[in-house]
Amino acid sequence: MDADWALLDRDFYVDAVMYAVILSGLYLMLVEGADNEMIRELGRNKGFPACEIVHTLAQLGVVRYSGQRWLWCGAPPDPRRITRIDAVRRWVHLVPFCEEALAPWKHAADDMRLTDSGQEMNTFLIANIKPSTGMRWLDIGGGTGDLARQLSQMGVDVTMLDTPSVIARCRTRSFSSVRLVAGDVLAGLPTGPFDVVSAVRFLEEFSATQVRQIFHHMRKQLAPNGIVCVISSVDDNTLWSKLFAIEVASTSPKGRTYSVRTLGILAAREHLALMRMKTHGPYTLIVLRRMTLAGRRKDRDTMQLVEY
């Protein structure tokens, strides 16, 4: 997803946050002191995630909460860095926007982004799942196909599902040993059974209701002892997560970041149980399996409904 750039170029995103803070009037409000309702009202009026940005500023150490008010306590934003962002804005508006001219550059950038952000995650996933020859593996939202290609070189029988445009680009490369399937994950998955169904940094693009639907499709295509592997950018209080969450909200209208607990609840509603989890930097690997009958009864009897 486009929000991966928040991982790859944090300094630029910090500058972008500061630019939004100044243009929206939030900076002057925080210098004088603002309570939560004032900040929420500003966000509603200006149409931007003011509360999330304030929490990002707190992670940066430039605002603090005291006496039920948020106060700017750091140095003012660097004028040179603010004007750099403004120069980008002005140059963008010099010529009329042309989607057709930009498309090849966006596709190339997508591939670079996915390769740069995916290499570490793929290594992390393979080290923890330990694929074996003949294993049947379905990778959902595989993007550049780097994970699928790496798995196939290890003797794994790999199927990769993504949108038609992504699959079309993959077909121009060397994917002879990977089954490429173009489709809509919300409509269903390729027919299994699969020993592993993986989704690497993919669920953030969907609403909670859609994530539950995806979990349903995953469970239907699992082999009896199969597992679901999800690598997610877990919703937490780190600066990176705050930047990522803001970018997800702006690039994926229905998407969001999820806590492990929320993903566990959504999975359990579709009878998938959490086996184990492991964190590596900003990523968390969550491994799920089919829920036993006893587990389903426990889920039905004890798990409380939550608002998504």
Asked whether residue 44 is assigned to any structural domain, the reply reads: yes
pLDDT at 139: 96
pLDDT at 234: 65
Last residue of a domain, one of 92, 118, 140: 92
Query: Same structural domain for residues 77 and 142?
Result: no
| In the block, residue with structure tokens 């990769």 | 160
User: What is the mean pLDDT for each group of 10 consecutive residues in the chain (308 residues)?
Assistant: 50 85 94 95 89 87 94 94 88 78 75 70 91 95 88 95 88 81 94 95 88 96 95 67 66 72 92 91 88 58 39
- Listed in sequence order, the residues at least 6 apart from 13 whose beta carbon sits closer than 8 Å to its beta carbon are 5, 6, 243, 247
Query: Same structural domain for residues 56 and 149?
Result: no
Asked whether residue 260 is assigned to any structural domain, the reply reads: yes
**CA distance readout (Å), 236 to 114, 167, 224, 257, 258:** 22, 33, 33, 9, 9
Q: pTM of the full predicted structure?
A: 0.72
CATH number at residue 251: 3.40.50.150
Query: Same structural domain for residues 83 and 137?
Result: no
Query: Same structural domain for residues 15 and 119?
Result: no
Query: Same structural domain for residues 220 and 258?
Result: yes
Token pair, residue 15, equals 């500058």
Last residue of a domain, one of 57, 92, 127: 92
